[in-house]
Structures are given as structure tokens and as C-alpha cells.
Amino acid sequence: MKTVGNVSALVVAGVGLVGLAALSLAVGDARLSFAQIWDGLLRRDEFAATIVWSIRMPRLLVGLLVGAALSASGLVMQAYFRNGLASPGLLGVSAGGAAGAVVAIGCGLAAVSLLTVPLFAVAGALAATGAVILLARRGASTERLLLAGVALNALLGAVTSYVLSAHTLTYERNAQILFWLIGGLEDRTWEHVWMAAPIVPAALWLLPLGRPMDLLSLGAEEAQSLGVDVRRLRRRLLGLSTVLTALATAVAGTVGFVGLVVPHILRLLVGPEHRALVPLSLVAGAAFVVGCDLAGRAAGDLRLGIVTALVGGPFFLWLLRRDER
Amino acid sequence: MSAQGKGGGGAALALALENVSVPGRLHELSLEVGAGKMVGLVGPNGSGKSTLLAVAAGLLPSVAPGVVRWAGEAVAGIPGLERGRRTAWVPQEARFEFGFSVRSVVGQGRYAHGDDGAGVAEALERFGLGRIAERAVDRLSGGERHRVLLARAWATGAALQLWDEPLAALDPRHGLETLMLGRELTRAGRTLVFSLHDLRVAHCLDEVVVLHEGRLRAAGAPEKVLTPELLREVFGVTARVEPGLTLFL
């Protein structure tokens, strides 16, 4: 049911995003006033500038990119599988990205180039996506889709843990495993921002696909008969959603439920039309992740992945219950 | 092979299937449908009606050397968007995962026309959906959902309309209205091919095509095709055929 106009929803999400981003720059261990933050942003205060530009800005930007990517990726998967419960975390695509990234790190390839980790993450996520498609055909029942995701998540989580166990020193092993299995935005640097930067063109490429996504989400054959080049659209959607998830995972580990919660709330607010949902999911997803990160920091350094799971887990259960009726 | 379209040497074929095969479902089937005809596709469950419609719509490929032509042109060579303008296909099942409004789904019929919205309001009225145009399609009854799909096909304005069991889910009144709307389409020069089970309807069609085990068993004017002998052979039932009515005994 449409209760809010699309443009006003986009404006609200945008304003919320800017507000949360400003807060995210302002809040942290080092207590700085808004005036000092402003001076830091303009590099008029060297101390504040270091805090803002070296620590908080990369964390904020990685958060924005990760949120936009995961949220849009979930939206795309829901249209693709014609199932409102599909999302990168539940289907194991995030876990595939994490496993790929960890393999690159474990084999010592991360130092070779800035591109290695994201490329391996994309490869891992693609493998997971391929497996999901084999296990649960399009339009598959929720049960089948989710069971395939459970199996993949367990398997890929084990791969990630094994590789880290075999290649890291004992004392940092647990921290590393934790980072990849429950993602977070701690200690993110500009390097991570650049790694995740291709999220921007991938997201822009998604924008014109909203209308054909409407048709696809009601059935592939119907869409084809109405003039959509379904094969090409599907290839593009799957490629983009996989790359988006993989890049997000490569810089922040597996952050669950973003791709499930954000599109669902947006659908409740503005209806199911993808021309509105695609841009909204990018903006609102970014705001959601930055907001969750802020909440986690306020609650005493709770990791991002824990906060999104705390929000998303109950939400998911509520959706399952509602779907049963 | 069904009779060609009406009058004169220039009578065009709206749809032609030449030696079309789909493994396990259709066997070297050939069929011609003249422009402006209302054609019913009958046959027992599993006889290949849905497959035939999907192949005719260009959604399912035929094994070589089978060819599907729309107005003489091989479908394989027609680009996707143009296909959407020329042919409309209505599936047998009306399933919606997301809560699009009725108006929005009917509007999808204009996708291949750049979403111009032309004729959408009229299609909604024609199929009795005006009152529920803003309702979410995933909350509708089965019959209402079918009418949404039919209205969407109508809104495309396509010259060739292929409907898979449009009447099965409809109550008698809406079934009759749908038949009348189909007749209106063919009067305007469009062509309608649809599958059906209720043979009492067959006599208001121009032609009937009988499928049996993936093969064309008979085609032509209903009163010529639907003989008691054929009905017994194809459907395994005893029937009495009177002018304008087929009754099963």
C-alpha cells in the first residue's frame, strides 16, 4: 500500500542520510565539538582533521557504500527470485564473498594488489549465487530457497573459519574469524573505500532497470511476452547484485539482514514499484547501515553485524509469521 | 490444418505453426490461423494446449526445423520489444508475489509502447476492474486476478492474442463477458486463440482446434469438428451434439 509519495520518501531518506552521516563524523572516542569537526573537515585544525579525514570519514564512506550495496542487492534478488524473503545474507551470497576474500588473504594474495581481495570476493559470491540458482530454481518456494541458503551459509562459513585457522597466528585468529563472519566497520581506511568504490557505478547501472524489474517480479514468461529481454535482464541483475554484495563483504565482512529489512520497509511505505524502490533502497540502505553503526558505537562498540542482526532477526521472524497467514 | 481466413486471395494468416515440436509435449504440429478469427483450443489435460500457446507466443522454442510465424514473419527474428507490441499472452496461472495495484499491472501491458498508459483505463472498465483498480493484486480472488491478466493483454493492443484457459477461473457472468470481449477483438480485426475445456462454448467460436497427445487431431468449424465420434475418441466420453450445443451424457 502506497502511503508516501516517491519523491517525498526519497527526500526524507536523503535528509536522514545526511543527518546520520553528520552524526557519524561527530561522534567517537575523541570528543570533538561540531565546530571542531567543521574545522577538521576544512583542515583548519590539524588534530581534528586527522580524526575526521583518517578515521571517521573512511568509516562513514565504507558504511554508506556497504549499506547501499547490500540493500539494493537484496531488492534485486527479491525481484529475481520472485520471493520477498530472498536476500544476500540469507541465500549465502555474502558468505561466499567472505570466503573468497578470506582465501585471498589466507594465500597471501592480498598484498599483491588492492584488487585481489574484491576480485576473490566476487568470485566467491558468484559461486554461491550459482549454487543457489542450481538448488532453488526461480520462483522456488520460500522453504527451498531458505534451506539452500542455510546449507550454503554453513558450508561457506566453515570454509572461512578453516582458511583463517590455517593461515593466521593463534592470537589474532579469533578476531579475524569474527570479523569475516560478523562484519563491522572498525579500522576502515581509505584503502577500503577505494576497494568498495565500484559499488557506485554498479548501483548507477541498476537505476534504469527498475521498470523491467517490475515485470520480472511478476513472472519471467509474462515479462518476456510483454517485451522484456528476460535473459539479458536476468544476467545483468544477477551480475550486479552479486558484485554489489561481494564488494560490500570484501570491505566489511558479512553484514546480515540489510538486504531484507530495508526493501521490505520501503515496500510498505511506497509500494512495490521498482522505479521508486531502486533509488530509495540505495539511499535508505546507506542510512540504515550508518544508523546501525552509530547505534552500535553508542551501545559501547557493538559490531555492525551484531546490530543489523539484532534489528533484522526479529524482523525476519515477523515476516515469516506474516507470510504464513 | 485449419481453414484460412475469410474472403479473397489477400486473406492474411495471423499465426502459423510449421512442424513445431517440443520434446515429450508436441509432435510435428502444423496449424494456420487466419486474421480476425476466434479460435478455441480443446483437448484433454496434458494434450499440449498450454505448450502450443507458449510456442505460439514465442516463449518456448520449437525443435528445428519447426517455425512459428506471426503474420508471415518468423518469430525468432522479431526483437523482444516488438514481440510485446504484436502479441499478448495470458498464462493459465495468475500468481502475484508482490502487491502491485491492479492499475499498475494492467499498465504493464504498455511496457513495449514506452509505458504510455494508452487504453489502460478502458481495459480496466472493460474487464470490470475499475472499482478495484487501486487494490493490491496479491489480495484479489482467483477470478479477479485472471481478469487483471486479461485486461493487461487487452491493454497491449496486440493483434494476436493468446489466452491460456481464460474462462476456467471466472464465474458465468464474467466468463460470458470475456467471450464477448474476445469477439469484440476479432471484429476489430485482431486474432484470438485460447484454450478451453467447456465445449458448450465451442459453438460460438469461428474454429476449433482439437489436440490429442501432443498432435493436431482436427481443426475447422466447430459443428464439423466436434462430432460424437471424435469426442469419444479424444475425450473418452459419450456426447450428444445438437445444433449449437454439445452435451455430455
Do the Cβ atoms of B99 and A222 come within 8 Å?
Answer: no
Three-state DSSP state, A87: coil
User: Strands B239-242 and B67-70, how do they pair?
Assistant: unpaired
Which range has the top average pLDDT, A39-43, A107-111, B192-196?
B192-196
Q: Please report the pLDDT score of residue A180 as a whole number.
A: 85
Minimal-distance CA residue of chain B relative to A139: B97
Do the Cβ atoms of A271 and B95 come within 8 Å?
Answer: no
| Residue A316's pLDDT band (cuts 50, 70, 90) | confident
What would the pLDDT profile of A145-163 be if each residue is shown by its tens digit?
888 889 999 999 999 988 8
Closest CA to B57 of B179, B164, B205: B164
Distance of CA B133 to the CA centre of its chain: 24
Do the Cβ atoms of A82 and B81 come within 8 Å?
Answer: no
Section B62-87 average pLDDT? 95
Q: Percent of chain A beyond pLDDT 90? A: 67
C-alpha cell at A220: 519471467
Residue A139 has pLDDT above 60, yes or no: no
Cβ atoms of B105 and B148 closer than 8 Å: yes
CA distance B19 to B72: 15
| Residue B40's pLDDT band (cuts 50, 70, 90) | very high
| Residue A140's pLDDT band (cuts 50, 70, 90) | low
Section B40-47 average pLDDT? 95
**Residue with the three cell numbers 551501545:** A299
Calculate how close chain B gets to A222, using CA atoms only, in Å: 7
Q: Please report the pLDDT score of residue A145 as a whole number.
A: 81
Do the Cβ atoms of B115 and A211 come within 8 Å?
Answer: yes
Which residues of A are less than 8 Å from B156 in CB distance?
226
Residue B8 has pLDDT above 70, yes or no: no
Calculate how close chain A gets to B21, using CA atoms only, in Å: 19
Q: Please report the pLDDT score of residue A207 as a whole number.
A: 96
Do the Cβ atoms of A84 and B98 come within 8 Å?
Answer: yes
Calculate how close chain A gets to B180, using CA atoms only, in Å: 24
Calculate how close chain A gets to B82, using CA atoms only, in Å: 7
Which residues of B are less than 8 Å from A217 in CB distance?
97-98
Task: Tell me which residue in B88, B97, B101 faces A83 most closely, judged by beta carbons.
Answer: B97
Residue A288 has pLDDT above 60, yes or no: yes
User: What are the distances in angstroms from CA B105 to CA B86, B116, B170?
Assistant: 19, 14, 19
Residues 6+ apart with CB under 8 A from A133: A238
Q: Please report the pLDDT score of residue B3 as a whole number.
A: 42
Q: Please report the pLDDT score of residue A224 as a whole number.
A: 96
Calculate how close chain A gets to B152, using CA atoms only, in Å: 9
Angle at A222 (CA atoms; ends A218, A228), nearest 5 degrees: 95
Which residues of B are less than 8 Å from A272 in CB distance?
98-100
CATH code, domain with B75 = 3.40.50.300
The answer to whether residue B6 sits within a structural domain is: no
Which residues of A are less than 8 Å from B85 in CB distance?
227
| Residue B183's pLDDT band (cuts 50, 70, 90) | very high
Q: Percent of chain A beyond pLDDT 70? A: 95
Which residues of B are less than 8 Å from A212 in CB distance?
111
Task: Report the residue of B96, B104, B108, B146 to disrupt the A interface, i.e. the one with the largest count of A CBs within 10 Å.
Answer: B108
Q: Please report the pLDDT score of residue A228 as a whole number.
A: 96
Three-state DSSP state, B17: strand
Q: Please report the pLDDT score of residue B245 as a whole number.
A: 66
Section B30-54 average pLDDT? 96
Angle at A130 (CA atoms; ends A127, A134), nearest 5 degrees: 140
Q: Please report the pLDDT score of residue A241 as a whole number.
A: 94
Which one is predicted more confidently, A312 or A143?
Answer: A312
Do the Cβ atoms of A211 and B111 come within 8 Å?
Answer: yes
**Which of B147-172 are b and which e, b meaning 16 or more Cβ less than 10 Å from the residue's Cβ?**
bbbbbbbbbbbbbbbbbbbbbebbee
Residue A170 has pLDDT above 70, yes or no: no
Out of A36-50, A90-104, A169-183, A196-210, pick the least confident: A169-183
Give the domain range for residue B211: 13-248
The count of domains in chain B is 1
| Residue B5's pLDDT band (cuts 50, 70, 90) | very low
Report ipTM for this prediction. 0.91
Question: A6-324: what fold?
Answer: ABC transporter involved in vitamin B12 uptake, BtuC (1.10.3470)
Taking an 8 Å Cβ-Cβ cutoff, which residues of chain B contact chain A?
54, 57-59, 80-85, 87-89, 91, 95-101, 104-105, 108-109, 111-112, 115, 136, 149, 152, 156
Minimal-distance CA residue of chain A relative to B87: A225
Cβ atoms of A251 and A188 closer than 8 Å: yes
Calculate how close chain A gets to B214, using CA atoms only, in Å: 21
Which residues of B are less than 8 Å from A267 in CB distance?
98-99
Q: Percent of chain B beyond pLDDT 90? A: 82
Query: For residue A29, how many other CB atoms are within 10 A of its CB?
Result: 9
Do the Cβ atoms of A215 and B108 come within 8 Å?
Answer: yes
Out of A11-20, A27-36, B122-131, pick the least confident: A27-36
What would the pLDDT profile of A218-251 be if each residue is shown by its tens digit?
999 999 999 999 999 999 999 999 999 999 999 9
- Counted residue by residue, chain B has a size of 249
Q: Please report the pLDDT score of residue B2 as a whole number.
A: 44
Rg (CA), chain A: 19
Section B170-197 average pLDDT? 95
Task: Report the residue of A226, A266, A322 to disrupt the B interface, i.e. the one with the largest count of B CBs within 10 Å.
Answer: A226
Q: Please report the pLDDT score of residue B102 as a whole number.
A: 97
Q: Please report the pLDDT score of residue B1 as a whole number.
A: 41
Q: Give the start-to-end residue ranges of the domains of chain A.
A: 6-324
Q: Please report the pLDDT score of residue A87 as a whole number.
A: 92
CA distance A52 to B244: 85
| Residue A174's pLDDT band (cuts 50, 70, 90) | confident
The answer to whether residue B179 sits within a structural domain is: yes
Section B52-61 average pLDDT? 96
Do the Cβ atoms of B111 and A267 come within 8 Å?
Answer: no
Residue A83 has pLDDT above 90, yes or no: no
Three-state DSSP state, B163: strand
Do the Cβ atoms of A84 and B97 come within 8 Å?
Answer: yes
CA distance B38 to B128: 22
Residue A1 has pLDDT above 50, yes or no: no
Which residues of B are less than 8 Å from A221 in CB distance?
54, 59, 89, 91
